């Protein structure tokens, strides 16, 4: 699989040339004393990512408890109204995948992070995904993490380049909270920005986020959904460590 990924990346670059989803944000070298700031953002963004997924799972459970098409329709309409209220009262950052927020936070000369940006980037994907809208939660998690990282970063009065480092750390940490794949999250953010000088800071944020997430929920959103779908198909997951699971286990007929 790793060989296939490498060959696919080389082929794409050979045919289409280099392409970055976000471009080249300006960064500045940071010292070891800077790492406590990454620690704070890793804990906050990672924990919020895990809580975000728990709320999505809770809404999904409520939706499945509704019987009949009328109940499902009212649930979707309720999510749509909640999304519309979020856009009206919190801001337009609720819309879309969040790339507009990422561009502003990483490239605008002046950035004014607000708690409203965090609320917008969490509630927007939450309501649209719960209603069955396209877009998922993987890509929007990057913008959510950037909002968290940017808002906390301003507490430390950073330079513009240091601010971008903390925004990238927030993106990595929040995505780790959703996917529970710290290495993948860090490499993904690096691939989007080509800023390999901060690989240590991003890996640190990812590991911290993965640690705090394990105290909130031992499984990622995708693992929870996998188990639910297997159970719905009549396939159970054999666990070795009690009812909550966590061991590798195996599959058996339920």
Task: Read off the pLDDT of residues 3-22 as tens digits, 9 standing for 90 and up.
Answer: 887 788 788 878 887 777 77
What pLDDT sits at residue 247?
42
Helix axes 138-153, 99-107, angle to 10 degrees: 30
Strands, E, within the chain: which ranges? 235-238, 250-253
182: Cα within 13 Å, side-chain hemisphere: 21
Rounded to the nearest 5°, which phi and psi values hold at 237? -110, 115
**What percent of the chain has pLDDT above 90?**
40
What's the whole-number mean pLDDT along residues 181-192? 87
Distance CA 13, CA 31 (A): 33
176 token code pair: 């780790």
Closest alpha carbon to 206 in 168, 172, 163:
172
Residue 129, pLDDT above cutoff 60:
yes
Contacts with 58 (C-beta within 8 Å, 6 or more apart), sequence order: none
Three-state SS at 71: helix
Distance CA 177, CA 77 (A): 29
Question: What are the tens digits of pLDDT across the range 21-57?
Answer: 777 888 888 888 899 999 999 999 999 999 999 999 8
Region of poorest pLDDT, from 5-9, 68-72, 81-85, 124-128: 5-9
State the pTM of this model. Answer: 0.83
Question: Do 94 and 120 touch, CB atoms closer than 8 A?
Answer: yes
User: 61: pLDDT confidence band, cut at 50, 70 and 90?
Assistant: confident
Contacts with 2 (C-beta within 8 Å, 6 or more apart), sequence order: none
Q: Domains of the chain (ranges plus CATH)?
A: 19-217 (1.10.3080.10), 221-254 (no CATH)
What pLDDT sits at residue 135?
65
Three-state SS at 211: helix
User: 253: pLDDT confidence band, cut at 50, 70 and 90?
Assistant: very low
What's the whole-number mean pLDDT along residues 214-241? 78
Question: Do 186 and 202 touch, CB atoms closer than 8 A?
Answer: yes
Rounded to the nearest 5°, which phi and psi values hold at 186? -65, -45
User: 245: pLDDT confidence band, cut at 50, 70 and 90?
Assistant: very low
Question: Do 225 and 56 touch, CB atoms closer than 8 A?
Answer: no
What is each CA distance from 195 to 22, 82, 157, 244, in whole angstroms? Answer: 11, 37, 22, 39
Distance CA 32, CA 39 (A): 12
Distance CA 66, CA 76 (A): 11
What's the whole-number mean pLDDT along residues 207-214? 93
């Amino acid at each position: 699989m790793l060989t296939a990924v490498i060959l696919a990346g080389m082929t794409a670059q050979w045919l289409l040339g280099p392409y970055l989803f976000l471009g080249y944000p300006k960064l500045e070298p940071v010292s070891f004393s800077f790492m406590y700031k990454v620690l704070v953002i890793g804990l906050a963004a990672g924990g919020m990512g895990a809580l975000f997924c728990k709320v999505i799972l809770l809404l999904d459970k409520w939706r499945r408890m509704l019987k009949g098409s009328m109940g499902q329709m009212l649930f979707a309409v309720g999510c749509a109204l909640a999304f519309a209220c979020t856009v009206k009262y919190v801001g337009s950052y609720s819309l879309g995948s969040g790339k507009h927020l990422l561009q502003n936070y990483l490239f605008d000369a002046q950035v004014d992070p607000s708690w409203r940006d965090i609320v917008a980037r969490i509630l927007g994907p939450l309501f649209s995904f719960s209603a069955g809208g396209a877009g998922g939660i993987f890509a929007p998690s990057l913008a959510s993490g950037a909002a968290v990282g940017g808002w906390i970063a301003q507490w430390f009065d950073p330079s513009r380049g240091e601010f971008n480092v903390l925004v990238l750390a927030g993106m990595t940490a929040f995505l780790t909270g959703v996917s529970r794949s710290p290495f993948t999250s860090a490499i993904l953010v690096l691939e989007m920005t080509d800023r390999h000088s901060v690989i240590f800071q991003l890996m640190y944020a990812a590991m911290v986020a993965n640690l705090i997430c394990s105290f909130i929920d031992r499984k990622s959103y995708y693992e929870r959904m996998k188990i639910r779908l297997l159970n719905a198909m009549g396939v159970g997951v054999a666990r070795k460590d009690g009812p909550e699971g966590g061991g590798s286990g195996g599959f058996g007929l339920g």
